[in-house]
Amino acid sequence: MITIKILVVGANGQIGKHLITFIQDYNHEAKAMIRNEEQAPFFKDLGAETVVADLEGEFEDIAKAAEGVDAIVFTAGSGGHTGKDKTIMVDLDGAVKTIEAAKVAGVKRFIMISSFDTTREAIQAAPAGFAPYVAAKHYADEWLKGTDLDYTIIHPGALVNEEGTGKINAAVKVERGEVPREDIASVILGSLENESTIGKEFQVVAGDTPIAESLKLI
């Protein structure tokens, strides 16, 4: 198996921490992008490299963080309940800066963790307080699709902290449902190892199909 070096943006989030653990367990190399050194011990204990860069900070810091990796995973998010300012600065501007940083650093493979439904219809249907978040994700996704990067966009269902089952339901469109964060981390790693997911975007909820098998059917 070829070893992949992966920059995880949003590494200190719940999905990010699961992903870093899995990357190390599968003998790939993880580079955790964190906001400050205080977050470093968790990742260093796993044997992962860390790099300090703030999505709300300078583009050059993100571009430097992206140097020397084979793939970038964007798992960062302000969440649907922060102010509109954070939504714009993290979920839109932070995402676009990371995409552009990938280009500068010569990193072709890019995995985006988006929201479950980021269509124009979803923006219009969302409650007023949630609509800015969906809109930010929509335009970040569109920006990525407009590049020549080898992208995969993953749209998870309602995220829960239950133990992963290793089984999902994934397709361009699925019924809304929950999915463990641990399983989304496994879907990310599976997508990185499966080139058939390049240029694809799909929704994911808990299901009955093993992750590796499900990704082959996307």
pLDDT tens string 53-98: 999 999 999 999 999 999 999 999 876 566 668 889 999 999 999 9
Beta-carbon neighbour count of residue 175 at 10 Å? 10
**Cα(61)–Cα(83) distance, rounded to whole angstroms?**
24
Query: What are 165-215's pLDDT values in tens digits?
Result: 999 999 999 999 999 999 999 999 999 999 999 999 999 999 999 999 999
User: Among 26, 133, 139, 151, which one carries the catalytic annotation?
Assistant: 133
The model's pTM is 0.96
Task: Indicate whether 102 pLDDT > 60.
Answer: yes
Domains of the chain: 5-216 (3.40.50.720)
Question: How many whole angstroms separate alpha carbon 111 and alpha carbon 99?
Answer: 10
Amino acid at 151: Y
Whether residue 133 lies in the annotated active site: yes
Q: State pLDDT tens for residues 22-64.
A: 999 998 999 999 999 999 999 999 999 999 999 999 999 999 9
What one-character DSSP code corresponds to residue 165? -
